[in-house]
A and B are shown apart, each in its own frame.
Chain A
C-alpha cells in the first residue's frame, strides 16, 4: 500500500468515524420527526372530574335508548361508534339477573341504567358503568369506573380501579380499595379500613360518626401578611397559647393542646398538634405530621412524608374548602375534610390510630 493511499484511507476512516454519531442527528434534523413542542397541559387543570365529564359527553348518544328502555321497562344492547359494546337497562335491578354475567364476571360491556342500578356481588365490571339514578353495589366487586347522577354505595371489600363520580353522596363500606379518583358533588363517606388515593367533595367524612354539620361554618382567616418568625431548632407553642404570625421551624414543632395559631406554620422535622389546636393558615412539614384529635385547620395541610389525622379533626370548612396532601395519609374515624384528600402513595381510613 502506498503511503499516500494509507494517509488518505486513514483520514477518510477517521472522518467517517467522527461523522458516524451525527448520521442519526442529520436524519432527524432533516426529517423533523420529533420537532413539535413538548405537550403542555393548556386547557384542563388536573380537574378531578375530567374523566367523569368526558364519560358523560361520550354517553350523550345513548340518551334516546335510555329513555326508550325506561319507558318500556326493557333492556337493549348495541355498539357505540368506537366499537364498544353497551347494555342499557330500563330497570336497574335487572342487572342482578342478566345473562351477561358469566363466572363472576360481566362480559366486558359498558352498562348504562336509566334508574337505580343494583349490582350483584363478587363480580368484575371491566367496563365503565353509568346510572341516571343511584348505584348500589354488593360486596367484593371490582369496578373500572362509575358515574351516577345520584348516590353511589360500594359494598364491603369492593375495588375501583380508575375513577368514580357521584352527583349525590358516595359511600364505601369497610375494606374498599379506591385506586383512582373519587369525587362527589355532595359528599364522600368512607368506612374504616378503606384505602384511597385522591378524593374530592364538599365534605369527606370518615366513619359513620363523622358529622360535617358539626364543623364551624367559618374559621377566621389569619392576617393577610402576618409577621414571619424563624426558629432554628425544635420549638413548642405552649398549650392554650395564642400564637400570632407565620412560623418556620427548622427542627420539630409541637403545638400544645388548645393553642391557637393565627397564621401558617412549617416545620422541617416532625409536626405534632395536640388535641384541640386551631390553625387559621396552612400546616406544612417536610416530614411527618400528626394532627389531633379535635383540631381545626383552615388552610392546606401538606406533609412530605406522612400525615396522621385523628378523630374529631376538621380541615377546611364548607365555605372554605382546602386540600390535605401527603404521600401517605392515615385518617381516623370521626375526621372530616372539606375539599380534597390526596394521598400520592397510600391513603387509609382506620378505626383508630
Chain B
C-alpha cells in the first residue's frame, strides 16, 4: 500500500512541477506568436462550420457576427450544421440564408448518429476548401478572428489551430466567475506555455481550425469520440501535424451558469479525455511516429489530467489508511520537510497558475476570488472521478457513450 501511495505522490509531484514550469515560462520566458503578424496575404478560401443543436437562443448572434468579419466575402462560406434541432434553429438559419445569399449554405441534418463529431463528419460532404474553421453556436467571433485563425495555415506543418475562449457571462454568479478564472489559467498560461515550449497545444473544437487535407489523412472526424477535439489533437500529432495556439485570437463564449450543467459538461470532457488516453496514450509515448520527445511526454501528461482526479482521491484514502495503520512513510525530519514543502508549494501550483494568468490578463480584483477555486476543485474532483468510474462500468457492461449537449443560458435574440 505504501508503494502505491509513493507512486501517486510522485505523479502528483510531476504535475505540480509542470504547473510551475508553465507558469514561470509564461511569466518570464520567450512568448511565441509566429503567425499573428500576418495581416496581409492572398487569403485562402475558408469554410466556417457552426455546430448547432437546438441553438435558437444563440445561433443568430454568431451568424450576425460572421457576416461582419473582415475576410474576403468571396472566399468565406459559412455552413451552419443544424444537427437534428427541434426548436427554431432551422428557421433562424434559413432567415440568414435569405438575407445573405451565397454566403451561407445551411446543412440541416435530420437523422443520424448524435454528437458534434458525427454532425461535422456528415457536413464534410459540403466542404470544398483546404481551411476549415469550427465554432460552436454560442461563440461570438470578432472582426479579425477569421483572418487570425486562417493565418497559421500558411505554415505547411500546421494541421490544427486553436484560439482563446473568453467567458462573456462571467459576472453572473460564483460559478461563472470561477469558470472565468479557470479559463484564464487554461488558455493564458497552459495553452500559451505549450505553444512557447513547442509542446502539445490542445485543439478545443471551437474557435479553432483544421486543415482539410490533414483531416482527410487522419481519417476524418471520429464520431465515436465524446471529445472530438482531444481526439483530433492526438491524431494530428501522431501523423506529424502541429496544432498551434493563438492566444490573441480571442472569442467570447458562454459558460455554464448552474452547477448541474457544469458537472455534466466536465464529466463529458473527462470521459472523452480518458477515452483518448486509452486509445492513444501508449502509442504516443512509445510508438513510432514524428512527435518529438518533449511532445510525447507533454502529450501523455495532458492525456492524464482527468485521470489524476481519481488518482488524487485514491492518494487521500491511502494516506489515511497508512496513517491509521501506524505506518511511517518516511522517517523523521524527511517526512516533516516533505509534507511542509508540499503544503507550501505543491498545493499552490494550480492556484499560482491561475493567479498568474489573471495578472497577465490585466485583471485586478478578480484575483481575490482565487481562494474560492477550492470549491470548484472539490466539485470537479468528485465529478471527474465519478465519470471515470462510470466509464469503467460502461466499458465492462458494453454500454455506449452518450453525448450530452451543454445547456445555453442566453436569452434568444429577437
Contact = CB atoms under 8 A, between A and B. Distances in A.
A43 interface: yes
A230 B44 CA distance: 23
A340 B240 CA distance: 30
Interface string B23-64: 000000000101101111110000000000000000000000
A293 interface: no
A304 B143 contact: no
B358 to A, nearest CB: 9
A11 to B, nearest CB: 20
Contact of A323 (B37, B144, B167, B366): B37
A37 B252 contact: yes
A34 B156 contact: no
B186 to A, nearest CB: 13
A342 B212 contact: no
Nearest to B184: A38
A40 B154 contact: no
A32 B365 CA distance: 9
Contact of B369 (A29, A265, A281, A321): A29
Interface stretch (B169-177, B280-288, B297-305, B318-326): B169-177
A40 B251 contact: yes
B414 interface: no
Contacts, number: 150
A347 to B, nearest CB: 12
B402 interface: no
B130 interface: yes
A230 B240 contact: yes
A223 to B, nearest CB: 10
Given A325-B38, A344-B37, A284 B366 contact: no
Interface string B103-141: 000000000000000000000000000100000000010
Given A40-B142, A42-B142, A200-B39, A35 B166 contact: no
B251 to A, nearest CB: 7
Nearest to B211: A225
Nearest to A337: B40
B70 interface: yes
A322 B143 contact: no
Interface size class of A (residues with CB under 8 A): 35 or more
A250 to B, nearest CB: 8
A40 B252 contact: yes
B61 to A, nearest CB: 12
A302 B155 contact: yes
Interface string B343-381: 000000000000000000101111011111000000000
B366 A35 contact: yes
Contacts of B290: 230, 232
Contacts of B366: 28, 34-35
Interface in B202-237: 212-213
A282 interface: yes
A320 B156 contact: no
Contact of A29 (B32, B70, B177, B213): B177
B361 A38 contact: yes
Contacts of A40: 142, 166, 250-252
Interface in B238-252: 240, 250-252
B178 to A, nearest CB: 10
Given A266-B157, A339-B41, 11 more contacts: A28-B365, A37-B170, A41-B143, A43-B142, A43-B143, A44-B143, A228-B213, A281-B156, A286-B34, A300-B151, A302-B155
Q: Which 6 A-B pairs have the closest CB atoms?
A: A45-B144, A35-B171, A34-B365, A246-B156, A339-B40, A325-B37
